[in-house]
Every structure is written in structure tokens, then in C-alpha cells.
Structure 1
């Protein structure tokens, strides 16, 4: 997976704007959690650039940017979980999953339906 680090609130505005052109993936990851590490490994098995070249994937390190995670929760009205995967389209979260559901297959399936 080709990740863009999500480190600022301004990037959330860009995600909302860019999501009007193509779906955006946000992966919320805790670097201290073994379940989250397994989910990241499952995500890294795929290539968004190859399968959906118009889409982008953002990676949020929850331990360093919990404030951004809180804004994601408020902005998209999705309760915080970790690990968590959100797909943003037209400025809204159109689908999400967490824990064992976080895998590249989920992304492929969801994006193919948008």
C-alpha cells in the first residue's frame, strides 16, 4: 500500500475536497497494538495505486495524532476504534470497518461498488 501520512487538520479538508473526484481511504493505526499491526500487514498486501489509481490512502498514527482522530470521529460521525478503516466519498464516510475487518479485500470490494 502506498500511504500518505495524515498529520494535519488541513489534510482532512483536502481529503474532503479530493473525495469529490475519487474515494479516499483513511487507515487509523495504533503502533502499540498487535491487532492493529496485523491489520496494517493485511492492508500492505495490496496496491491501491495499481487497483484504483485515482484513489489515495492516508495513514494516521493514533499515538502521535489522537487530536486528528478525534476530528475524524466528529467530522464523519464514526465512533473511534483502532485499528479502523474509513472510505470517504463526496466529503462523507460511505463505509468503514475496524479490527478484523481491516484488510485490503474490504477496500477492493468497497471501492469497486462506488
Structure 2
């Protein structure tokens, strides 16, 4: 899985613009949380590039970039959680979930509703 690093709140406008063309996911990760590590590992192990070619994934280390995490919550009107995954489409967060509800099949199902992933 090839992550794009999200480490500056100015990238949020870029993410919104990109999401007009393709879905963007943002994974908010806490490096001190075992649940976050497990959710990240499960997602990365199951990720299939050929199924997700139309999706641009961003990774946010929220302990290193807490102000960016706060900006994500505000920009997309979601309550901050960790770990958390957001699907951004057409400039808006159309799906978000957290903790052990983060899964590749769940993400894939949400993206399928957007007609962008198998």
C-alpha cells in the first residue's frame, strides 16, 4: 500500500480538489495505540492495489501532527477519533469509522457505493 503523507493542514484543500476526480481516504493513526496499530495492519495486509487504483490514500500520524488532525475534523465535520478512516468524495466526508470497525471489506463496500471500486 502506497501512502501519501498528510502532515500539513494546507494539504486539505488539495485533498478536497483531488476528491472531485477520485475518492480520497485519510487514515488517522496513533503510534501509541495498539488498536490503531492493529487497524492499520489489517488494512495494509488486505489492501489490493488493483482494486483500489482509483483511490488516493493519505496517512496522518496524529501524534506528530495533532493540529492537522484537528483541521481534518473541522474541514470534514467529523468528530475526532483514533484510529479513524475517512472517505472524501466530491469535497465532503461521505463515510468515516474508527477503531476495530476499520476494515478493508467495509471500506471497499463504501467505495463501491460511489461506483469507483470493485
TM over 0.5: yes
More helix by share: 1
Does residue 51 in structure 1 map to residue 27 in structure 2?
no
Within 2, Cα distance between the matches of 1:68 and 1:100? 23
Deviation at 1:48, TM superposition (A): 5.2
Structure 1 partner of 2:6: 6
Unmatched 5+ stretches in structure 1: none
Structure 1 partner of 2:34: 34
Deviations 1:42-85 (A, max 9, x none): 11023353212121000000110000010011111100000000
Structure 2 partner of 1:65: 65
Structure 2 partner of 1:22: 22
Aligned residues: 114
Unmatched 5+ stretches in structure 2: none
